[in-house]
């Protein structure tokens, strides 16, 4: 199998996973999504963003080298959000926003 075929198959698998996530959300199954921009363990905010169900926000911080960022869930039905360090996942609704995180790039 050629490298190009391998990457094509991975892309198809990713598309299938996103379609499955979208179907689970629309049917009200409250699928689990990890509170991370990306993860290899399951779905994350970037997957929701690819479906049009999340928005990544950012703004300048208190100094010119700081950026503040956070996610907002905009999907049609609730999902379950799993956050590292929390014992229990939480069910979130459309409009939910994560805590804001500040990063200094100076």
pLDDT tens across 57-66, in order?
999 999 999 9
Looking from the CA of 82 toward its CB, the CA atoms found within 13 Å total 11
pTM higher than 0.85: no
Has residue 33 got a pLDDT over 70? yes
* pLDDT for 29: 98
Looking from the CA of 9 toward its CB, the CA atoms found within 13 Å total 6
Has residue 13 got a pLDDT over 70? no
C-alpha distance from residue 51 to each of 35, 63, 75 (Å): 16, 33, 9
The whole-number average pLDDT for the span 45-56 is: 96
């Amino acid at each position: 199998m050629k490298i190009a075929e391998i990457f094509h198959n991975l892309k198809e698998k990713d598309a299938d996973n996103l379609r499955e996530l979208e179907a689970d959300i629309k049917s009200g199954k409250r699928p689990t999504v990890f509170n991370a921009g990306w993860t290899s363990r399951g779905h994350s905010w970037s997957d929701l963003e690819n479906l049009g169900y999340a928005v990544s926000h950012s703004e300048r911080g208190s100094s010119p080298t700081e950026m503040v960022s956070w996610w907002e869930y905009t999907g049609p039905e609730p999902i379950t959000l799993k956050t590292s360090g929390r014992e229990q996942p939480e069910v979130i609704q459309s409009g939910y926003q994560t805590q804001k995180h500040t990063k200094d790039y100076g």
